[in-house]
Structure 1
Amino acid sequence: MAGSRLILALDVYERKRALEIARETADYLWAIKVNWPLIIGSGLGIITELKQVTGLPVIADLKLADIPNTNRLIAGKVFEAGADYIIAHGFPGKDSVEAVMELGETIIVVEMSHPGAKEFIQPVTDKLIALANELEPFGVIAPATRPERVAYIRSKLNEKIRILTPGVGAQGGKAGEVLRAGADYVIVGRSIYESDNPGESARLIYEESLGVWGWS
């Protein structure tokens, strides 16, 4: 939907269920994010099907973190299947990220949403932000569970680079709070796809984000 800042993290295994949820929620989404569970459970072709069913961008959350040639081989097939964006880790180095960026739009992880991210990723966030500023990908991943970190990352990041924030809902992050902290998009999974009414759950989060930005 035009103006939406909501991304659905469709972390289910079953193709039929994934397509049903996508149909029910599409009116309130900017994009759909697929991760390894859905790709492993339903095959790479699910990316193509989701685009056909919804007409929405698809983000492949592979968190690529290998040598440049391996990243390139994986990314090539995923973009070929129709993915609009691929998420990659920055810590393997500039050349590994560039291998993905050569093939299509890329999103770099600069900090993750789970508690363990504080151990090894957060201490090097500044270096990952610097890498993003140098390479200028479409966006970066920052934690909705820690809005103060989103605000910090936004303050250091090139203003043209978007911030996508997982962790809203089941992990405790709040859409309105993290958008006010500087996020461009919120990523929501379990609070939508485990809901008895995924479409209604998506609508409520969508409307919360509209309230933050003052849209109508």
Structure 2
Amino acid sequence: MREIRPIVALDFPSFEDVKAFLALFPEEEKLYVKIGMELYYAAGPEIVRYVKSQGHSVFLDLKLHDIPNTVKSAMKVLSNLGVDMTNVHAAGGVEMMKAAREGLGQGPKLIAVTQLTSTSEEQMKDFQNIQTSLAESVVHYAKKTAEAGLDGVVCSAHEVEAIKSATNSDFVCLTPGIRPAGSAIGDQKRVMTPSDARQIGSDYIVVGRPITQAENPVEAYRQIKADWNA
């Protein structure tokens, strides 16, 4: 299999923290990073421009969820930042997802969140009042995402096989909640190791604290990358 980079979640509070983290890596080692809400709201679009200027790939994880016209307009703005991938909430509906695709254009990958990996089945049934199983909910959202013409979904690695069976083998499954064997799971409920996620068919994995909070982030990244590609 071809070597794939794990996506590093830059869950830092400031621009300076990101610069310091990226400076740990050799200039020729280009990363795939996730910029989420905390960092984007703190540093603004300039953080995306900076990371791209350093040659890294960017997954902009803002999980847009609004009326179709608003999401379309927001995606037009994001399309000017040169992101490689971004996302919406599948719960926004097929029309919203179609509008997002139209606004973003056909260059970057556009994926949708099914159920957050921090959500348990009990929470989903109690708070969202969705009375199917968690797996059925995720697959349903994935099928609607494919219907809308998006590239794939954010999901737990445990749901990848069912999603690809319900859509197609090229439908992207990006899986957060990835932890090396023996590490703390934090606030995630549905987790998996990098090698297991690869074997089960994940196309991308997102890893944050096991890399960014490691004593040696570069070594931790390389070990996870090796495990992911083993």
Q: Shorter-chain TM-score: which interval? A: 0.7 to 0.9
CA offset digits 1:65-106 (Å, max 9, x no partner) = 110111122222222122222111111111111111112331
DSSP-derived class of the 1:17 partner:
helix
Asked if the contact 1:4/1:28 (under 8 Å) is kept, the reply is no
The amino acid of 2:156's aligned partner reads: P
Task: Return the TM-score normalized by structure 2.
Answer: 0.81
Matched residue, 1:125: 138
Matched residue, 2:8: 8
Report the aligned-residue RMSD.
Answer: 2.1
| Structure 2 spans left out of the alignment, 5+ residues | 180-184
Task: Return the TM-score normalized by structure 1.
Answer: 0.85
Matched residue, 1:141: 154
The structure having more radius of gyration, on CA atoms, is 2
The amino acid of 1:133's aligned partner reads: A
DSSP-derived class of the 1:24 partner:
coil
Asked if the contact 2:101/2:149 (under 8 Å) is kept, the reply is no
Matched residue, 2:114: 110
Asked if the contact 2:97/2:145 (under 8 Å) is kept, the reply is no
Distance 1:20 1:207 in 2: 24
Q: Count how many residue pairs are aligned between Structure 1 and Structure 2.
A: 205
TM-superposed deviation, 1:137: 1.9
Query: Kindly, what percent of the aligned residue pairs are identical?
Result: 28
Distance 1:33 1:115 in 2: 20
The amino acid of 1:62's aligned partner reads: L
The amino acid of 2:208's aligned partner reads: G
CA offset digits 1:97-126 (Å, max 9, x no partner) = 111111233111123211346614735323
Alpha-carbon spacing, 1:20–1:33, altered in 2? closer, same or farther (3 Å): same
Distance 1:50 1:180 in 2: 30
Matched residue, 1:62: 62
| Structure 1 spans left out of the alignment, 5+ residues | 212-216
Distance 2:196 2:25 in 1: 22
